[in-house]
Structure 1
Amino acid sequence: MPTSLPHALVTGASSGIGADIAREYARRGKPLVLTARRAERLEALAAELSAQVPCVVLAADLADPAAPAALFAQTQARGLFVDTLVNNAGFGVPGRYLSVDWKTHADSIQVLMTAVAHLTHLYLPAMEAAGRGRILNVASLAGLVPSSAGHTLYGASKAWLIRFSETLDQESRSRGVYVTALCPGMTYTEFHDVNGMRDKVSKLPKGIWLTSAEVARLGVDAVESGRARIVTGRSNKLIAGLSKYLPDRLARALLAAKAKDFRDAD
């Protein structure tokens, strides 16, 4: 068992919700392991937060199937005890399923699902052995509402992540480890710039948006208090509730009518 101070490992920490989760944990005095593809951004974030907490930067691309084991090996070699795992890394793939090459879809599955399951399998045993731990999985409102055309794998992967989180929480909380699915809706980050949807989503009502700092704070509060799932924002909670209680056919029709405002199905 590593003997260092307990650290929080945050994937996708170079921007957006991941960076703000790192900031939130730093504010609470939690040492950090920051990982993402963009090493220069991680170094900048570490420089920002190092006055508050120790920060370790380990650049990695989770689209590489070997990356989770390599990350684990590096933290083990440094003697770091990771008692908090934040699975935040991810990206959306716009367009119809057949309009995108398989390599891109495979990378999406690897980052959004396989790497999450693998990292959890690697870090959870030490948490259970110590009798304490937290796993925060950044899912999405998209995993709780009916499917619509476009971004075919994203909602499906987030629905899987929510169920995975809830099941794992039931298995592990008696051993002192809490697992939370964080389900934000529209959030001010680079996500929509990367997937080319910024122009469309910018037309959505301002009232449904939250900042990534707000989402981060709510997510960390939820996992630290042992909540298995949190939907952020009143509007998103309303949408999730309506999706649950409306007849499936009506819910799908309503979402399909609005999907062009936030999804590219071409």
Structure 2
Amino acid sequence: MTKARPLSLITGASAGIGSAFARALAARAHDVVLTARRTDRLEALADELRGQHGVNATVLTNDLADPHGVEQLCAALDERGLQVDWLVNNAGYGVPGRFDQNDWPVHADFLRVLVTAPTELAWRLISGMRERGYGRIVNVASLAGHVPGSAGHTLYAASKAYMIKFSQSLALENLGIGVNVCALCPGFTYSEFHDVTGTRALVSKMPGFMWQRADDVVREGIDAVERGDAVHVTGRFNRTVKSLFKLMPDRMALRMSAKQSKRYRAQDAE
């Protein structure tokens, strides 16, 4: 690498796991590009990172639900001469309620943000990583991608399962050339996610041992991608859950998922 500092692009950087990634990478002397829809939050975070770590922090407000959002984001990077070494595909949210009770544009936007945009960003940026012989891609997936789907939030687990398989294939395609790809799979994480989906009251009933702090998730994720792990499930509890579901017969696993999902998924739109 010829640059003084690596450059990290973090999507969904305005809160939660995204802002935790930005802080952790800036603390490791990475310059950062922060993107999300909320400019005020991004600017506040950028000021914090410049002041605490002396790094360059660039804010590029962007809506990945826009079909041209990724193209516009990459054009903005090119205009500034910014070459991305670390891509953290973190942007995401949930759509509560039953599948048919939401309008199709709601689902279309969701799929663009959680599936199409991270895939396109990886496609647009990985060639430069390969040419330079160095790169890291962290696709923030979920424990939900390893267990049976739930009633309500219909597309969420499906999108995360896609990101896991996509990350595995991309990791295999880039073995031994200095480009590592990892699907990071947290479980319940303290963030705004459940406030946005309207399930805070439900998930607040979950016991504390099921939860992780965002900075702990991020620390595990950085270590995992540096090791070259194609998939990493964070936390001992979450790894146990994954293993148990893997051993169960499909019918039993689906019945258990149906029972447990009532505890934390909004299944019917009001």
Instruction: Tell me, yes or no, whether TM beats 0.5.
Output: yes
Letter of the 2:206 counterpart: L
Task: Confirm or deny: 8 A CA contact 2:46 2:57 kept in the other structure.
Answer: yes
| Alignment TM-score, normalising by the size of structure 2 | 0.96
Does 2:130 align with 1:125? no
Letter of the 2:228 counterpart: G
Task: Give the CA deviation at 1:173.
Answer: 2.3
| Paired position in structure 2 for 1:16 | 16
Task: Confirm or deny: 8 A CA contact 1:4 1:81 kept in the other structure.
Answer: no
Structure 1: how far apart are the matches of 2:43 and 2:215?
20
Moved more, 161-170 or 73-82: 73-82
Structure 1: how far apart are the matches of 2:204 and 2:166?
32
Show the 5 A alignment for 1:171-250.
171-250=173-252
1:17 aligned counterpart, secondary structure: helix
Letter of the 2:64 counterpart: L
| Alignment TM-score, normalising by the size of structure 1 | 0.97
Structure 2: how far apart are the matches of 1:34 and 1:173?
28
Task: Give the CA deviation at 1:175.
Answer: 2.3
Can you give the 5+ residue segments of structure 1 that lack an aligned partner in the other structure? Answer: none
Structure 2: how far apart are the matches of 1:80 and 1:177?
18
Instruction: Give me the CA root mean square deviation.
Output: 1.2
| Paired position in structure 1 for 2:40 | 40
Show the 5 A alignment for 1:103-142.
103-142=105-144
Does 2:27 align with 1:27? yes
Task: Give the CA deviation at 1:245.
Answer: 1.0
Structure 2: how far apart are the matches of 1:204 and 1:99?
26
| Paired position in structure 2 for 1:77 | 79
1:156 aligned counterpart, secondary structure: helix
Q: Percent identity?
A: 52
2:262 aligned counterpart, secondary structure: helix
Stretches of 4+ moved more than 2 A in 1? Answer: 2-6
Change over 3 Å in CA distance of 1:4–1:35 after alignment to 2: farther
Task: Confirm or deny: 8 A CA contact 1:136 1:223 kept in the other structure.
Answer: yes
Task: Confirm or deny: 8 A CA contact 2:7 2:86 kept in the other structure.
Answer: yes
Show the 5 A alignment for 1:81-96.
81-96=83-98
Letter of the 1:57 counterpart: V
Can you give the 5+ residue segments of structure 2 that lack an aligned partner in the other structure? Answer: none
